[in-house]
């Protein structure tokens, strides 16, 4: 398999380019995920913390829907995060029957430190590229954001 993605000219070349991009993106994401503040934390657990960090407090059902998992699965994840001191449960102020999950200061610190480590890893990798390659990566990031927004 080639290491560079060429401009596809046919359906077969487009298929090959798609496969190469998929593999490269997967390997990049997997490598970046190793840069985390808590080694024992799963990707799913971190995704919940990051979601709470970005979007604020949620009910268990809202978290499950956001992460596209079942409510029992999300409950297990939240229980683990709560036992570790990263999230807390509290009664919803407007509806006392609902329970809201929110980040603790420790949970915020994990998200901040993980983001810092991941940014540092990417920055180090970018520093090894030529200026042209860095511009290409910047352009690719914008294109990928557009692709996932569809």
Whole domain around residue 50: which residue ranges? 11-148
* pLDDT > 90? residue 93: no
- On whether residue 4 sits in a domain, the answer given is no
CATH code for the domain in which residue 59 is found: 1.10.10.10
Indicate the number of domains in the chain. Answer: 1
In the predicted structure, residue 2 carries a pLDDT above the cut 60:
no
pLDDT given at position 5:
60
Say whether pLDDT at 142 is over 70.
yes
Q: What's the pLDDT score for residue 4?
A: 58
More confident residue, 128 or 12: 128
Task: Give all strands of the β-sheet with 58-59 in edge-to-edge order.
Answer: 58-59, 99-103, 87-91
Q: Is residue 59 part of a domain?
A: yes
Please give the pLDDT value at position 8. Answer: 64
Does residue 6 belong to any structural domain of this protein?
no
How high is the mean pLDDT of the chain? 92
Q: What is the dihedral sign for C-alpha 36, 38, 44, 49?
A: negative
- Domain assignment present for 77: yes
CA distance 21 to 115: 24
**Nearest of 76, 80, 81 to residue 64 by alpha carbon:** 76
State percent of the chain over pLDDT 90.
Answer: 83
On the question of pLDDT at 3 being above 60, the answer is no
Residue 54 has phi, psi (to 5 degrees) of: -80, -45
- Confirm whether pTM is higher than 0.85: no
Answer whether residue 1 is part of any domain. Answer: no
Of 10-14, 81-85, 106-110, which range is least confident?
10-14
Q: What pLDDT, in 10s, does the model give residues 46-57? A: 999 999 999 999
**Residue 2 included in any domain:** no
pLDDT of 80 strictly over 60: yes
């Amino acid at each position: 398999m080639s290491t560079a993605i060429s401009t596809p000219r046919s359906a077969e070349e487009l298929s090959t380019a798609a496969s190469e991009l998929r593999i490269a993106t997967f390997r990049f994401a997997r490598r970046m995920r190793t840069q985390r503040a808590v080694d024992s934390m799963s990707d799913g657990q971190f995704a919940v913390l990051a979601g709470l960090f970005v979007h604020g407090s949620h009910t268990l059902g809202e978290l499950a829907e956001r992460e596209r998992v079942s409510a029992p699965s999300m409950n297990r994840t939240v229980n683990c995060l709560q036992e570790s001191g990263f999230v807390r449960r509290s009664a919803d102020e407007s509806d006392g029957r609902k329970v809201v999950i929110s980040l603790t200061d420790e949970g915020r610190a994990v998200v901040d430190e993980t983001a810092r480590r991941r940014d540092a890893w990417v920055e180090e990798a970018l520093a090894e590229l030529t200026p042209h390659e860095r511009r290409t990566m910047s352009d690719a990031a914008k294109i990928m954001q557009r692709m996932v927004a569809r």
